[in-house]
Structure 1
Amino acid sequence: MIPKVSSIFRRWNELISQWSQHQLGVMLICLALFTGFSLLYFPKVIQKRLDNSWTSNEKYMIDFINRKIEHPLVAMVGKDSREHFAKRELRITPYLIGKAFHLNAIRLFYLQVLLLPLFLFLFFNLIRKLAGGDAPLAFWATASILFTYVGHSFVYDTLFYDSYAYLFLLIACYYYDRIWSVLALILAFFVDERSLFPALNLPLLFLFQSGIPSGKWSDVIHDFLWKNRATHYLLISLTLFVIIRYYLYTSFQLETPVGKHAGVQLGFAFLHGYKLPNALFSALKWDIILPIIAFAYLVKQRIWASVWLYFGTYLASLIAATAVDDVTRSLTFCFPIVFVCFQIIHHLKEQESARIFLSLIFLANFLTPTYTLLMHLERITPLSWIY
């Protein structure tokens, strides 16, 4: 790095370290990130309220969501219908939140926007925990993820509420070795079923907390299944999810339809052709390098059990994402795959190099445009609420 830039970078990291000595300082850092981000990307729903530009489909969605908030367990779409919109019948977590706090569809989105600082706060603390207490590394990682679709979803996604799932997945990762993760996972699963696949990362976080596993395949599998609390909590979560889903189906006829008419079919998103790479890339943008580094390290160390689980988690997320039209939002669910990389960095004692690397990823994410694909490819541009 140029000496002057290197000096500024070092001083900035020292400042972050000083502010991060107390949780209040971390909170202020995250609020500053949120404020700067919000000035660039004004919440879409507020802009719509100002110019009253709701489409007829959005008005239909608002009416549907408001009725679901009022009666979360009542099926609003005919049970014989296989239409795409019927998928939202069983995604009841946002409706229950709305009912508990007396929020309508629009206010539920406002709450989503205000939850972004909490997401950043938890993300910062989790990265610092995984990276051995390195606050500057946590800062650059948090700023970096903010400018992927993960951050954009909180202020851009109107009436989908996927960001609630991202938040609950993050809470589950934060408490990966505690029973609290069970509740967070179930809440995430009932925002969207696509949360199931990234949840498979939790056992890896537990497995790597005391060092990179080595030894025979059978020994790693044994530890993974029998000594790994995160595995047990994940299995409990999946079991409860299946039981609750079955109960909701038999008692209230709530289900998630699949098939061509429901807009859920393997390879569905490939119909978009050349638009697909931009949409897929926007989910994590340059942060996708982090799981690639982790995967390469696991292969180099021949930790094959972890290699296949790690690779399988992302592959399952990718297959699920390309089975629906909203492929950007779908693949964003897999953001927990970045966490393993920070544990590896900690064990390799490469913090200083990692800080520089993460700051460069942040800069690349900041300068690279973000797209979302829903029927058509749409670019999310900064300051669009001004002009």
Structure 2
Amino acid sequence: MYNSWTSNDKYLIEFVNSKIEHPLVAMVGKDSKEHFAKRELRITPYVIGKVFHLNAIRLFYLQVLLLPFFLFLLFNLVRKLAGGDAPMAFWATACMLFTYVGHSFVYDTLFYDSYAFVFLLLACFYYDRVWSILALILAFFVDERSLFPALNLPLLFLFQTGIPQGKWTHVIRDFLLKNRATHYLLISYSLYALIRFYLYTNFHLETPIGKQAGVQLGFAFLHGFKLPYALFSALKWAIFLPIFVFAYFIKQHIWTSAWLYFGIYLASFIAATAVDDVTRSLTFCFPIILVFFQIIHHVKEYESARVLIFLLFLANFFTPTYTLIMHLERISPFNWIY
């Protein structure tokens, strides 16, 4: 396998190995505005590597081995949210396996985004418990793009006993003041900001921003016609789930919840398009689909939802995934055959 690495891959391997050895040392240079410098502050995988004595390649192997755990956790979370419906949880898990979320565990060799996906899923599983704080901070320090999708946790708490339909002031009050998930999320944000400030002032670790660094709003739209493929491939046909949730809110005139839900996805979308690799960025939005399962067993369309999830699985299985990493690359669901 070593002979298959490009010169850029070998550079990444050397960088990751150096960061594992010294996670808090800036390798690129404190004054650098290069796009690559944004990886300096994504220290969670490097710390994991250091604690468990793993190099860059073994850290990737561990990422691959986390896929069964991710699927097991996703199955149990969906079953929990959907009122114990195991068939729906099974097909939902299979559906997500053939999106970029599932592909990332074996495809994103040296990016380690899948660690963030695991920690985000753990936080969603413990959305009403203090354990979510640790999981969120670990996710944030894998990639900053975890910050906005984490806002879905308060929605999971808000909708756990039904869909609030009172005055907007009451819904906002419940979202902010009576919502344990909101409190844990705010604590996570605060701790993350404090740790980042400490790492910046003492170790010169920061996230570069600007055109030269490849981090600015709307940057991904430079790809033109390639962008729709990449946007679609993040969640593929599962993207219909948040659309159905939003449409249900509108149909039932549940306006406050609709705007909360839409606003969270919009914030995640804007952040995702601020970088070049927009497929990977929008993949961080996957917690938004979990809200569908949290509310589906409260509505009369519950039985037909099982069929819908199965059809989405089939659609994901038979359609390829596209990713933008330097160029548009097709990931076929049938690659394993040959």
Q: So what's the TM-score if we normalise by structure 2?
A: 0.98
2:174 matches 1:216? no
2:10 matches 1:59? yes
Shift of 1:352: 2.6
Match of 1:158 among 109, 113, 125: 109
> 2-side partners of 1:200 and 1:58: how far apart?
34
Shift of 1:302: 2.6
Match of 2:30 among 79, 85, 88: 79
Q: 2:155 aligns to what?
A: 204
Match of 1:239 among 156, 165, 190: 190
Confirm or deny: 8 A CA contact 1:134 1:351 kept in the other structure.
no
> 2-side partners of 1:144 and 1:215: how far apart?
34
Q: 1:142 aligns to what?
A: 93
> 1-side partners of 2:250 and 2:333: how far apart?
39
2:237 matches 1:260? no
Deviates more, 1:314-323 or 1:121-130: 314-323
2:230 matches 1:279? yes
For residue 265 of structure 2, what is the amino acid of its counterpart?
Answer: Y
> 2-side partners of 1:382 and 1:347: how far apart?
34
Deviates more, 1:265-274 or 1:232-241: 265-274
**Secondary structure class of the residue paired with 2:232:** helix
Q: How does 1:349-368 map to 2 (within 5 A)?
A: 349-368=300-319
> 2-side partners of 1:241 and 1:300: how far apart?
38
Shift of 1:384: 4.0
Shift of 1:382: 4.2
> 2-side partners of 1:247 and 1:196: how far apart?
18
**Secondary structure class of the residue paired with 1:159:** coil
Q: 1:21 aligns to what?
A: none
Unaligned runs of 5+ in 2: none
Q: How does 1:1-387 map to 2 (within 5 A)?
A: 48-49=1-2, 52-382=3-333, 384=335
Confirm or deny: 8 A CA contact 1:137 1:351 kept in the other structure.
no
Deviates more, 1:98-107 or 1:299-308: 299-308
For residue 145 of structure 2, what is the amino acid of its counterpart?
Answer: R
For residue 304 of structure 1, what is the amino acid of its counterpart?
Answer: W
User: Is the radius of gyration larger for structure 1 or structure 2?
Assistant: 1
CA RMSD, 1 decimal:
1.1
* 1:269-318 CA distance string (max 9 Å, x none): 11111111001100000000000011111222333222222111111111
Which 4+ stretches in 1 moved above 3 angstroms? 382-387
Shift of 1:380: 1.0
Unaligned runs of 5+ in 1: 1-47
Shift of 1:351: 3.4
> 2-side partners of 1:236 and 1:334: how far apart?
21
* 1:133-180 CA distance string (max 9 Å, x none): 000000010000110001000011010000000110000000000000
Confirm or deny: 8 A CA contact 1:131 1:342 kept in the other structure.
yes
For residue 109 of structure 1, what is the amino acid of its counterpart?
Answer: F
Shift of 1:349: 4.4
For residue 232 of structure 1, what is the amino acid of its counterpart?
Answer: H
Confirm or deny: 8 A CA contact 2:88 2:309 kept in the other structure.
yes
* 1:52-108 CA distance string (max 9 Å, x none): 111111100100000000000000011111111100000000000000110000000
